[in-house]
Amino acid sequence: EDGYQLWQRYNQVTNKGQLKQYQQLLEEVVVQGNSPTLQIVKDELQTGLGGLLGKTTAVKESGGKKNVLLAGTRNGSALVKALGLEEDLKAVGPEGYLLLSQKANGKNYTVIAANSDLGVLYGTFHFLRLLQTQQDIQRLAVKSSPKTKLRILNHWDNLDRTVERGYAGFSLWDWHKLPDYIDQRYLDYARANASIGINGTVLTNVNANSLVLTPEYLKKVTALANAFRPYGLKVYLTARFSSPIEIGKLKTADPLDPAVKAWWQKKVEEIYQYIPDFGGFLVKANSEGQPGPQNYGRTHADGANMLADALSPKGGIVMWRAFVYDNNVPDDRAKQAYSEFKPLDGTFRKNVMVQVKNGAIDFQPREPFHPLFGAMPKTPLVMEFQITQEYLGQGTHLAYLAPMFKETLESDTYAQGKGSTVAKVVDGSLNGHSLSAMAGVANIGTDRNWTSHPFGQANWYTFGRLAWDHSLSSEQIADEWIRMTFSNEPKLISEVKNMMMGSREAVVNYMTPLGLHHIMGWSHHYGPGPWIKDKPRADWTSVYFHRADEKGLGFNRTKTGSNALAQYAPEVQAQWQDPATCPEKYLLWFHHVAWDQKLASGRTLWDELCYKYTAGIDSVKAMQQTWAGLASQVDPERHKQVSTFLKIQHDDAKWWRDACLLYFQTFSKKPIPAGLEKPEHTLEYYQKLDPKFVPGI
């Protein structure tokens, strides 16, 4: 097995009792209707049941048997309509579905019912998942609808097929062969996304290229949009703010200039002629050198609203990113997005969403939630997670990200008192927004197994599942994924789940424990580089973030420091401002702490740092051992790949520990505690190590 099939392997059910139940209850499959989406439903049931039940399953328009699997909508299927279900269906909305066991006309129906064909497709995938994970289906009573309206992958794919922060090969989009050639992979991609409820995809990098908005490329985009449509996957593009100059031959891109407005309006009309259900634009402006409205003395709102006005007659939206920072602003980088965006709350058009990264710096292994969550009640905010592991070991480290995503979603902003979680801000329920969205920066590429690391697939899976229902637990998502991806063997499930559940904390420990952040090697962000200084921007250096000196370590973001803490609600501030009550996981994020300061464990900061780094390596060793013990339960190809990657991860963890401890030791001047392994080389050795990766931006 090479991993291409992801979690959709549909191997025959191994539990004999369960298999018998399925075979009895699914004697016959009936799907009424013929839309392209229902055609996919039929194919999926045929392939899925064929594999899972180990027998050919014909999908029929009507049936005569007693035990029937019935899928459809009330409008498209007389049989579904005859079952009633009106109220229940109303409750699940346009994309939701019901999975029910129901008796009618002397028959036993297992029903997948929805209001739209897409809902039926989502229900079908859920139903197949129940079989893949060997659940009882005798008394089904599932009602499911998405908590977030837009569930979108963000591809940072360039038109030359390189992928910014992509570690799984090249871009899936083969622009050269488009629009004529529709690679099977596009359909498999759309199918995988539909199986986890993802309903949108931004095809291009946020560091955008205006060429994608030319007719030549729009035709190619159209071909992709057509291929994705039956799977419910809407296409979005990144819009480079200076496009009117670059491809429109205008002299300016000033958002208040009538010619610029007219250009975008025409451009949008053109796009919708090609793609009538085009989703809209994602924009990175005035950030890391990208052009934007501030180049013309205008605000982010001026820029976003101008695009929103062009899109609104067509039903399109603008996702305007809040990931902005400027070296010329002599303030803590962690504060800049809030400082620029908070004052704009209430000034955006209705079809503008502001897209905010989970934390205020940049996708670190751990960050406190971004202070903008809860601070812009009048603006729907998109949660931007990074599925690709830019700062978490990229394509070779095993890091299951559900616990990280959940940690942010469950954080309490206290915006409207206790219980105002980030999840409630994002799903729109806290402020009554009907528009809601979650975006995930994709980890997918042309690698045969899509994600480089076989366990990277779990993070793609997790993103979709959480965007659909953020209340799912990390354990539950892991459980489903393991069963579908590997097997339903209890020993394998529990051991792999243990590995996964501890894996992100392991990365935090061997890279950035106790609230350290952004001390990775310059630009490639892979290995350790706590010594990085003297770069074009202060906030592109590690010394800016860790602030190590003879006294101690950490970034003072309290009142006596940058006061970034003031951007949070008073309840949050109260907890985090005192090092004694600040959770240790955020300690060095908010405080400069003395090397001798005693922490909860009773150890000094220095000793604790040494223990945490070592614990990180120990966790990887434990994962290696567990995995080695599963050799007979996993196919050789995937087993070997994971083993090899775990070895790389182990060596990297050691590299991280040795390099960071040696470096911080030059400030603490303290010995590595007795009993802990000593670093293998000198600090100079690690500083001279060539980065493994070609430097990018």
Catalytic amino acids?
288, 362, 390
Instruction: Name the DSSP letter for residue 549.
Output: -
Question: Under the criterion CB under 6 A, does residue 295 sit at the interface with ligand BDP?
Answer: no
- Residue of minimal CB distance from ligand BDP? 362
Identity of the residue, 288 or 618, whose beta carbon is nearer to ligand BDP in the bound complex: 288
Residue in the structure block whose two tokens are 């018998």: 20
Contact criterion met (CB below 8 Å) for 174 and 181: yes
Alpha carbon distance 251, 48 (integer Å): 56
Question: Under the criterion CB under 6 A, does residue 207 sit at the interface with ligand BDP?
Answer: yes
Site map (CB under 6 A) of ligand BDP, residues 412-441, x = contact = ------------------------------
Smallest separation (angstroms) from ligand BDP to the CB of 238: 10
Q: Among 42, 267, 284, 298, which residue interacts with ligand BDP (rule: CB under 6 A)? A: 284
Smallest separation (angstroms) from ligand BDP to the CB of 207: 5
Q: Among 97, 231, 263, 323, which residue interacts with ligand BDP (rule: CB under 6 A)? A: 323
Dihedral angle of Cα 141, 145, 147, 150, to the nearest 10 degrees: 160
Smallest separation (angstroms) from ligand BDP to the CB of 164: 5
Smallest separation (angstroms) from ligand BDP to the CB of 504: 17
Site map (CB under 6 A) of ligand BDP, residues 397-416, x = contact = --------------------
Question: Under the criterion CB under 6 A, does residue 281 sit at the interface with ligand BDP?
Answer: no
Task: End-to-end CA distance of the chain: give it in Å, rounded.
Answer: 36
Smallest separation (angstroms) from ligand BDP to the CB of 285: 11
Question: Under the criterion CB under 6 A, does residue 164 sit at the interface with ligand BDP?
Answer: yes
Identity of the residue, 392 or 672, whose beta carbon is nearer to ligand BDP in the bound complex: 392
Instruction: Name the DSSP letter for residue 232.
Output: T
Identity of the residue, 281 or 414, whose beta carbon is nearer to ligand BDP in the bound complex: 281
Smallest separation (angstroms) from ligand BDP to the CB of 357: 7
Residue 22: HSE in the Cβ half-sphere, 13 Å Cα cutoff: 27
Instruction: Name the DSSP letter for residue 568.
Output: S
Give the angle subtended at the CA of 273 by the CAs of 272 and 279, to the nearest 5°: 20
Q: Among 44, 157, 340, 390, which residue interacts with ligand BDP (rule: CB under 6 A)? A: 390
Smallest separation (angstroms) from ligand BDP to the CB of 290: 8
Smallest separation (angstroms) from ligand BDP to the CB of 441: 7
Site map (CB under 6 A) of ligand BDP, residues 475-514, x = contact = ----------------------------------------
Contact criterion met (CB below 8 Å) for 6 and 457: yes
β-pair type (317-321, 280-283): parallel
What is the DSSP track for 56-89? ---EESS--SSEEEEEEETTT-HHHHHT--HHHH
What is the DSSP track for 467-492? HH-TTS-HHHHHHHHHHHHT---HHH
Smallest separation (angstroms) from ligand BDP to the CB of 524: 10
Instruction: Name the DSSP letter for residue 331.
Output: S
Contact criterion met (CB below 8 Å) for 263 and 72: no
β-bridge mates for residue 582, sequence order? none
Residues in binding contact with ligand BDP, number by CB under 6 A: 11
Question: Under the criterion CB under 6 A, does residue 309 sit at the interface with ligand BDP?
Answer: no
* 348-385: b (≥16 Cβ within 10 Å) or e: bbebbbbbbbbbbbbbbbbbbbbbbbbbbbebbbbbbb
Identity of the residue, 537 or 551, whose beta carbon is nearer to ligand BDP in the bound complex: 537
Contact criterion met (CB below 8 Å) for 285 and 292: yes
Question: Under the criterion CB under 6 A, does residue 229 sit at the interface with ligand BDP?
Answer: no
Identity of the residue, 57 or 364, whose beta carbon is nearer to ligand BDP in the bound complex: 364
Site map (CB under 6 A) of ligand BDP, residues 109-148, x = contact = ----------------------------------------
What are the φ and ψ backbone dihedral angles of 26, each rounded to 5 degrees? -115, 50
Alpha carbon distance 600, 165 (integer Å): 37
Site map (CB under 6 A) of ligand BDP, residues 31-70, x = contact = ----------------------------------------
Identity of the residue, 309 or 362, whose beta carbon is nearer to ligand BDP in the bound complex: 362
Helix, strand, or coil here: 317? strand
Question: Under the criterion CB under 6 A, does residue 363 sit at the interface with ligand BDP?
Answer: yes
Helix, strand, or coil here: 13? coil
Q: Among 580, 674, 694, 697, which residue interacts with ligand BDP (rule: CB under 6 A)? A: 697
Smallest separation (angstroms) from ligand BDP to the CB of 251: 27
Q: Among 117, 302, 340, 362, which residue interacts with ligand BDP (rule: CB under 6 A)? A: 362
Smallest separation (angstroms) from ligand BDP to the CB of 390: 6
Identity of the residue, 390 or 447, whose beta carbon is nearer to ligand BDP in the bound complex: 390
Question: Taking the mean position of all CA atoms in its chain, how far away is CA 190?
Answer: 16
Helix, strand, or coil here: 175? coil
Identity of the residue, 154 or 449, whose beta carbon is nearer to ligand BDP in the bound complex: 154
Identity of the residue, 163 or 572, whose beta carbon is nearer to ligand BDP in the bound complex: 163
Alpha carbon distance 692, 524 (integer Å): 8
* 627-649: b (≥16 Cβ within 10 Å) or e: beebeeebeeebbebbeebbebb
Q: Among 147, 149, 165, 557, which residue interacts with ligand BDP (rule: CB under 6 A)? A: 165
Label residue 33 left, alpha or beta by phi (over 0 means left) and psi (-120 to 50 means alpha). left
Question: Under the criterion CB under 6 A, does residue 27 sit at the interface with ligand BDP?
Answer: no
Question: Under the criterion CB under 6 A, does residue 206 sit at the interface with ligand BDP?
Answer: yes
Identity of the residue, 288 or 345, whose beta carbon is nearer to ligand BDP in the bound complex: 288
Dihedral angle of Cα 182, 183, 188, 193, to the nearest 10 degrees: -60
Quote the tokens at residue 64: 């005569």
Residue in the structure block whose two tokens are 């009117």: 244
Binding site for ligand BDP (CB under 6 A): 164-165, 206-207, 284, 288, 323, 362-363, 390, 697
